[in-house]
Amino acid sequence: MFENRHIDWEQNARQQPQGEYICSRCGTPLFGAYQKFDSKTGFPSFWSHLGDHVQQHLLSTYGRDRIQLLCHHCGLHLGHLFQDERTPTQVRYCINAESIRFNPSQPEEGEK
């Protein structure tokens, strides 16, 4: 579906701040900023998640199967998982912007 929407991975890496995206309800770290990319869909998109903090749940609604993404700690609905051959993992975590918050990391002493 998005095969004609090219991702410039080098530019993407330069544009990402340092930090992580956390659950807006409970604060659990879900995605590293380095895992975020512009999928050209209008939704925050990631190519992977941190640890086992994102739970996958099969949904059979609206006449089709989808994979729902939930915060493993509090169960908040995060979004859905889709196949996307453009990413390093061949999947795209399509996330509801209201379900995550950015938590910037502090530079180590000597970095700036």
| pLDDT one-digit tens code per residue, 35-79 | 999 888 889 999 999 999 999 999 998 888 999 999 999 999 999
Predicted structure pTM score? 0.83
Distance from C-alpha of 110 to C-alpha of 50, rounded to nearest angstrom: 26
Q: Is 74 a catalytic residue?
A: no
